[in-house]
Amino acid sequence: MSGTTSDWATKTFVGNVSVETGWRVYRVRTQNSSYSVGLRVAGKRVGALRGHSQSGGAINVRDSDATVGGVSVFDVEPDHWLGRVLDFAGITTSPVLEVSKETDANVITEMTSPGVRALAPRQAEQPRPRPEYPVSVMEYAEHAHALLGHVARDQQAIRLLVGKEAWATRLKLALSGAVTMANAIADETREQ
């Protein structure tokens, strides 16, 4: 049987390689890098982070206490990773911009094969060079817009936050501050 899905419920073979069951594998793009993230959700939970740092160094760690935004990565659905940092074995990423299920059979195999302790290094994806000032500031504004879009679309989270007084206060302060800053920036650009 051949498969490339990244969420196995039974023993699967990718090519001739047996793949351990219970893994979910994702492709994650942050502000500075791209990573593969594997989560073994069946049996003993463990997470794997693989990619390259902004400086080009290889990252290849496993961690049973990995977090996203300070919460166990196993307790947060991947579509809620957006805007949060991942922390695996002390390696902290920049904020997550995109998450998708991994479809590359080779990556899935390397992340999930039984007995794989140290993952084979992968061809480094060249990190996107940081834009120079002032373009970097424009990109920060674009990221802020995208993150606020995620907040606006997550009505369930908003209902949960508003349901607890302390969280509601924090949410209102954060949004009020964002509006104040956005208005100040808009006023500044109108004067130009």
Residue 124, in any domain of the structure: no
Confidence of residue 134 (pLDDT cuts 50, 70, 90): confident
Boundary (domain end) residue, out of 112, 145, 178: 112
Task: Based on the fold, state whether residues 21 and 101 are members of the same structural domain.
Answer: yes
Residue 128, in any domain of the structure: no
Boundary (domain end) residue, out of 70, 97, 112: 112
Task: Based on the fold, state whether residues 87 and 171 are members of the same structural domain.
Answer: no
Average pLDDT over residues 148-152: 76
Residue 179, in any domain of the structure: yes
Task: Based on the fold, state whether residues 41 and 79 are members of the same structural domain.
Answer: yes
Residue 146, in any domain of the structure: yes
Stronger pLDDT, 129 or 66, i.e. the higher one: 66
Task: Based on the fold, state whether residues 140 and 49 are members of the same structural domain.
Answer: no
Per-residue three-class SS string for 35-91:
EEEEEECCCCCEEEEEEECCCCCEEEEEECCCEECCEEHHHCCHHHCECCCEEECCE
Residue 107, in any domain of the structure: yes
- The pLDDT assigned to 124 comes to 41
Average pLDDT over residues 172-180: 89
Stronger pLDDT, 127 or 124, i.e. the higher one: 127
Residue 18, in any domain of the structure: yes
Task: Based on the fold, state whether residues 108 and 16 are members of the same structural domain.
Answer: yes
Residue 117, in any domain of the structure: no
User: Domain span at residue 143?
Assistant: 135-191
Task: Based on the fold, state whether residues 90 and 147 are members of the same structural domain.
Answer: no
Report the number of distinct structural domains present in the chain.
2
Task: Based on the fold, state whether residues 148 and 91 are members of the same structural domain.
Answer: no
DSSP code string of the chain: -----SB-SS-EEETTEEE-SSEEEEEEEESS-EEEEEEE-SSS-EEEEEEE-TTS-EEEEEETT-EETTEEGGGS-GGG-BT--EEETTEEPPPEEEEEE---HHHHHHHH-TT--SPPP-PPPPPPPPPPTTHHHHHHHHHHHHHHHHHHH-HHHHHHHHTSHHHHHHHHHHHHHHHHHHHHHHHHHHH-
- The pLDDT assigned to 122 comes to 41
Boundary (domain end) residue, out of 49, 78, 112: 112
pTM for the model stands at 0.54
Task: Based on the fold, state whether residues 95 and 162 are members of the same structural domain.
Answer: no
